[in-house]
Amino acid sequence: MLTGLDESLHHQTSLTFDHVHTSDHRFYDRQLITGFRPDGEAGFLAGITVFKNMNVIEGYVIAQSHSRRQVNVRFTRPLRPIEVGMNVGIGPLRLEILEPLERTRLVLESGEFPLALDLTFEGTIPAHLENPHVGRMDGRTHSDYLRYHQIGRVSGWITIEGERFDAAEWFSWRDHSWGVRPVVGGFEPFTGTKTVGGVASASRTGGKGLFLIYVGFSNRHQAGGVQIIEDGEGKRIYLDGEVRQIGGEAIPVAAARHEIVFLPGTRVFETANLTLGLANGETWQLKARAVGRPWAFCGGGTDGGFFDGHGQGVWRGADLITEADVYDVTHPERVIGPGGRLILPKHREQLTVCEINGLVGSAYVPMFVIGDQPRFGLPARPHIET
């Protein structure tokens, strides 16, 4: 089917823009943005994802306040007919590209749910295109996607359960990724090797445990991001990142060491310290301390988070569907869902105060600690929900 995009000279394959190059049902294209108050007392996370081979578009906003409750709103509807242009929306949620790779605006209009916001993101440093994420197992390519991320700040307002928070240049981080990855589309082929599951990167460890940490950071003088993926035995699978003085040139991260202190009896960290060896011979020190609560991503629909339990990228009918619920996140790890349901999510991403070479700033720190982790003294444990 032709769309207005097909008038451009930017085709990459012999297909119209409403198709992708693969028939893999898991192909996705997603924009995600998060931001939080420096003390972690308020924050949000939002995303919009297109699944072209499933004819589905989804969106969500999740928000937290005072380390007590996580409020979740999810939307899903058929993708086609496809909206032409860089702006995208679903129901009352929309993402506007004001200046490509510089400024974006996120709006959630008021509705029959306890969230609304109007926030504008402005990049502090240029977006960083990560090394490709490619994984194979049992003769099958299970992951093949690209992602760029960007550090910035957001300004505007957000209302959470009737309480308004004005954002004056809160720390913010966003990413845009596209390609094929596991655990979306409602079905993941099994080819012989059982993985620890829960997140896409778990398929890259060959059935062993997964440790993943990403730190996106800024203190208004220095900024950057680094990502480390290892199996449960500590074998390094992936390293990517760059840092810079704000306004200066990017310096690639060539080596990284981490030191993690977990809250007793949990897989949620209290502090995460990284030593980065840079390509120019310098060493940078990051010292992150958790504030607020780590996001329970299932509130956004991942990992079986929709009411039907099928997760993201699943056809759910011809009409717009809106879901909303609230999690009790008083405990740093144990999430209480609707009806008192206990959830121990595998996918957690943490707000932090972060010292960067001794200067205080903020950092966004996704950390997945899944399966057997003998070096941390964390044996594999039964998984409760997702």
Q: SS3 of 129, please?
A: strand
For residue 294, say if its preceding peptide bond is cis, omega within 30 degrees of 0.
Answer: no
Concatenate the DSSP letters of all residues of 182-240 into one string.
SS-TT-----S-----SSGGGGGGTTS-EEEEEEEEE-SSEEEEEEEEEETT--EEEEE
pLDDT of residue 219: 96
Q: How far is CA 347 from CA 54, 149, 198, 304, in A?
A: 23, 18, 7, 12
pLDDT at 386: 41
Predicted pLDDT of residue 228: 97
What are the two backbone dihedrals, phi and then psi, of residue 182, each rounded to the nearest 5 degrees? -70, 175
Q: What are the average pLDDT values for consecutive 10-residue runs of the chain, which has 386 residues?
A: 88 89 93 97 97 97 96 97 91 98 98 96 97 88 92 98 97 97 80 70 73 96 97 94 98 98 96 98 98 95 90 95 97 95 91 98 96 90 52
Q: How far apart are CA 99 and CA 19, in angstroms?
A: 26
How high is the pLDDT of residue 284?
Answer: 98
76 close to 58: Cβ distance less than 8 angstroms: yes
CA separation for the pair 233, 111 (Å, rounded)? 47
Whole-model pTM over 0.85: yes
The per-residue pLDDT for 385 is 40
